[in-house]
Amino acid sequence: MKIPHLLALALLAAGPAAAQGSAAANRGSHTATVAELGTLCAVPAGDPSFAHASGLCRGFLAGFAQYHAAMTQPGTRHRPLFCVPDPAPSGEQAAAAFAAWARANPQAGGELAVDGVARWFIATYPCPAAPTRRPASR
């Protein structure tokens, strides 16, 4: 399933410097991959680049979730692809969970980050099954 790639562009709108040393930056791409986002989300709190990496990771995840919420709010024609619980996990919890998912799914590493984030949200926060409608009795 392909999700609009606007969020991937937004992540790197600040320029390839956001992914310093990454393969995408080295080849001049402005598109983040699952592996690159997973690496950003996995930077430990004591690392000198934590604030930058964490901000990019959390911003990407939160932006995707907010876009999804806006597109699937009541009154729209779109059904939610995933249902984040209330209360929602913290940004730190979401970042750690996505990083773990990216490590556990290396086959997705070269995919667009936005596609991987969509698959992670769907797998991690499935919506409850819709109630089955009974046929009208006559």
For residue 49, being part of any structural domain is answered with yes
Q: Which domain holds residue 35?
A: 6-124
* CA quadruple 17, 19, 24, 30: dihedral sign: negative
Query: For the segment 46-72, what is each residue's pLDDT rounded down to a tens digit?
Result: 999 999 999 999 999 999 999 999 999
- Confidence class for position 17, pLDDT limits 50, 70, 90: very low
- Looking at the domain assignment, is residue 134 inside a domain? no
Q: Provide the whole-model pTM.
A: 0.73
Identity of residue 108:
A
Contact residues for 122 (Cβ-Cβ < 8 A; gap 6+): 81, 82
pLDDT score for 137: 63
Examine residue 136 and state whether it is found in any structural domain, yes or no: no
Please, which residues bridge with residue 33 across strands?
A: 112
Contact 113, 18 (CB under 8 A): no
pLDDT tens-digit series, residues 72-127: 999 999 999 999 999 999 999 999 999 999 999 999 999 999 999 999 999 999 99
Residue 137 falls within a domain, yes or no? no
Total domains in the chain come to 1
Instruction: Assess whether pLDDT exceeds 70 at residue 12.
Output: no
